[in-house]
A and B are shown apart, each in its own frame.
Chain A
Amino acid sequence: MPSQYVIHLAVMILFFAYLGAAWNILGGYAGQFSFGHAAFFGLGAYTSTLLHIHYGVSPWIGMALGGLAGVLLGLGSGFLSFRYGLRGPYFALVMLAFAEMLRLLFETWMSRSYPLGLPIPLKGTSLLDFQFRDKGHYFYIILVMLIAVTWLCHRLARSRVGAYWMAIRDNEEAAQALGIDAFAYKLLAMAISAFLTALGGTFYAQYFLTLEVNELFGVQISVEILLSAIIGGAGTVFGPLVGAVALQLLSEVTRVYVRAFSGFDLMVYGGVLILVIIFLPQGLLEGMRRPYRAMARALST
């Protein structure tokens, strides 16, 4: 029986792999670099939790409704951004602004009723309640979620939809000249990505059983979501998983072993990130493949 600490670490790895994969659909495949996925994440968490506390709605149903709320927000923010042709850094910043707007909105809203954060009362410990004393159950839930999203990415990447997303990412004008409705396909990527990210928010809420506005809507979570995908390899099926393993282990190792002074571990963490981005801009997955390709080339000549 592994310790609760090891299980927690495993849950965090799968959790960020899941969120990275959800981000990857929009940011990696469709090439629309969102810097504000916290908006969907927080919205999902608060939708299911508030419905649960105030109306007794099951967190599972709340999770689906939170996902739908994410879709609506995604379509709304996507419509405004894509209609006015925002791309690259401009799109990233507008998404950041949407997340910040929601953060301030929820802060104002929540600070009156729940100044110390929103606690989720313990109802019971069963699958139906989405609450467990043993972290192992959460592990299996997030594992299933990760497998589902990875399978979805695998399917999408090989389909017409995936090919169209990658075409838009590489060259939007050329894609349109080949009959692709770039606006509609970007909105589709946004809706799927927002839906999945919002589901992740509900998982987070049920796992930690307490919600704090700045943690759920903050820039920190937006960055953590996209980092797994980018470090592992944006636009690849297994990149987010590879990235999440690397980042969570790195974060744990630096936190536990590197403590010359307060904050030193974060500096080391940041330093390693910079090195990876400089030397492996395509991500770790591509970095691991490179020696194999070089070998294959050497053997074939």
Chain B
Amino acid sequence: MALLELAGVSRSFGGVRAVNALSFAVPEGEIVGLIGPNGSGKTTVFNLISGVFLPNQGTLTFAGASLIGRKPHEICRLGIGRTFQIVQPFNSLTVLENVRVGAFRTIGDPDRAAHEADAVLRLVGLSHKREALPPSLTIADRKRLELARALATRPRLLLLDEVMAGLRPAETLEMLELARRIHASGVTLLVIEHVMRAVMSLSHRILVLHHGEKLAEGTPQEVSRDPEVIRAYLGEEYRPA
């Protein structure tokens, strides 16, 4: 049984169908990439999974439990962590305190939670900034902080919403390496990404959304050869290596 399963999920805003009869599954231990042009409904899918929006139709199940009607904090406690496309740090708290908020989900003691937060900061390579305030961080470090905070809640499934957007090539490679390390530690990943080369090399499977519907699904090789996908999204000039 898959860790996360969506079946026939639809969500409209006014007259716009943001997500239409979408079904897919994320098996435990995989990295699944979610791609699609702007406005294709990727972030809406994340918001449906994490309980920000209720679906109009369909079912969402995580480890056998229905997600429908659960609030965001309950979904986090079930074991789903997420990052936000536009980073949402706690600006008056230091980097360490930010991550400690996440660690407090499983650890009640402040000192032990700080210890755990330190360990997560080492993992994401942000230890040297532990006393800094988020507004003083670079974009790359803010994305790392966003990731560290979600990771500190010890999720089974982590939803990454464009953690590589806006990064320089070297930083993108570091982030890619970090995502692999997180995956290797036993966390299943569902990744929204615009940086095509990155998501193709990271993901085991790719899901392509177009106008809120599933356009294609398969391995990165299959998807990048799919003529529909090329027409809708990648553009004629994209050729798989």
Q: Mark B88-101, 1 if CB is under 8 A from A, else 0.
A: 11111100010011
Contact with A along B21-63 (1 / 0, CB 8 A): 0000000000000000000000000000010100000000000
- For the complex, give the distance between the alpha carbons of A176 and B92 in Å: 17
On chain A, the residues within 8 Å of B82 by CB distance are 177
- Please encode chain A, from 246 to 260, with 1 for each CB lying within 8 Å of some chain B CB and 0 for all others: 000000000000000
Contact size class for A?
20 to 34
When the two chains form their complex, are residues A179 and B153 in contact, meaning their CB atoms are under 8 A apart?
yes
Cβ 8 A contact of B110, one of A163, A177, A180? A163
Q: A170-B92, A171-B90 are in contact. Are A163 and B101 (CB under 8 A)?
A: yes
Can you list, as one digit per residue, whether each of A173-206 has a CB less than 8 Å from chain B (1) or not (0)?
1111111111000000000000000000000000
Q: Are A170 and B76 in contact (CB under 8 A)?
A: no
- Pick the contact of A178: B91, B105, B110 (CB < 8 A): B105
Closest chain A residue, CB of each to CB of B159: A177
A160 at interface (Cβ–Cβ under 8 A)?
A: yes
**Residues of A near any B CB (own CB < 8 A):** 158-160, 163-164, 166-167, 169-171, 173-182, 235
B84 near A: Cβ within 8 Å? Answer: yes
Which of A158, A159, A164, A174 has the most B CB atoms < 10 Å from its CB?
A174
Q: What's the Cα separation between A171 and B90 when bound, in Å? A: 6
B72 touches A171 (CB 8 A): no
CA distance A164 to B150 in the complex (A): 15
A-B contact pairs, 26 of them (CB 8 A): A158-B110, A160-B108, A163-B93, A163-B97, A166-B90, A166-B92, A166-B93, A167-B90, A169-B92, A170-B92, A171-B88, A171-B91, A173-B52, A174-B88, A174-B89, A175-B90, A176-B71, A176-B76, A177-B72, A177-B88, A177-B150, A178-B149, A178-B150, A179-B153, A181-B71, A181-B73
Chain B residue numbers with a CB within 8 Å of A171 are 88-91
Assess the A179–B89 pair: CB atoms within 8 A: no
CB-CB < 8 A to B88: which residues of A?
A: 171, 173-174, 177
| Chain B residues positioned under 8 Å from A158 (CB to CB) | 110
Q: Is the CB of A175 within 8 A of B101?
A: yes
B220 at the A interface (CB under 8 A):
no
B77 contacts A by Cβ under 8 Å: yes
Q: How far is the CA of A160 from the CA of B110 in the complex (A)?
A: 6
B113 at the interface (CB under 8 A from A): yes
Known: A175-B101, A176-B71, A178-B149. A160 touches B113 (CB 8 A): yes
- Known interface pairs A159-B110, A160-B104, A163-B97. Does A180 touch B92 (Cβ–Cβ under 8 Å)? no
Is the pair A179, B93 in contact by a Cβ cutoff of 8 Å?
no
B102 contacts the other chain (Cβ, under 8 Å)? yes
The interface residues of chain A lying within 8 Å CB-to-CB of B50 are 177
Query: Which residues of B lie under 8 Å from residue A180 when comparing CB positions?
Result: 73, 101
Query: In whole angstroms, what is the CA distance A158 to B100 when docked?
Result: 11
Cα distance A164–B108 in the bound complex, in angstroms? 11
- Assembly CA distance A122 to B79 (angstroms): 61
Closest Cβ neighbor of A235 among chain B residues: B92
B97 to chain A: which residues have CB within 8 Å?
A: 163, 166
On whether the beta carbons of B100 and A176 are closer than 8 Å, the reply is no
Task: Please give the distance in Å from A135's CB to the nearest CB on chain B.
Answer: 39
* A176 with B101: CB separation less than 8 A: no
Minimal beta-carbon separation of B91 from chain A (angstroms) = 6
Q: How far is the CA of A169 from the CA of B93 in the complex (A)?
A: 11
Q: In the complex, what distance in Å separates the CA atom of A283 from the CA atom of B104? A: 29
User: Contacting B84 at CB < 8 Å: which of A159, A169, A174, A182?
Assistant: A174
Residue pair B77, A179 in contact (C-beta under 8 Å): yes
- Alpha-carbon gap, A68 to B227, bound state (A): 69
Q: Which 8 A-B pairs have the closest CB atoms?
A: A179-B76, A170-B90, A174-B88, A176-B72, A179-B105, A167-B101, A160-B104, A176-B73
Q: A176-B72, A177-B50 are in contact. List 7 more A-B contacts (CB 8 A).
A: A169-B92, A170-B92, A171-B91, A174-B84, A176-B71, A176-B76, A179-B105
Measured between beta carbons, the chain A residues less than 8 angstroms from B91 are 170-171
Residues of B within 8 A of A235 (CB): 92
Choose from A160, A163, A169, A182 the contact partner of B73 (Cβ within 8 Å). Answer: A182
In the complex, which residues of chain A have a beta carbon less than 8 angstroms from the beta carbon of B108?
160
User: What is the CA–CA distance of A177 and B91 in the complex, to the nearest angstrom?
Assistant: 16
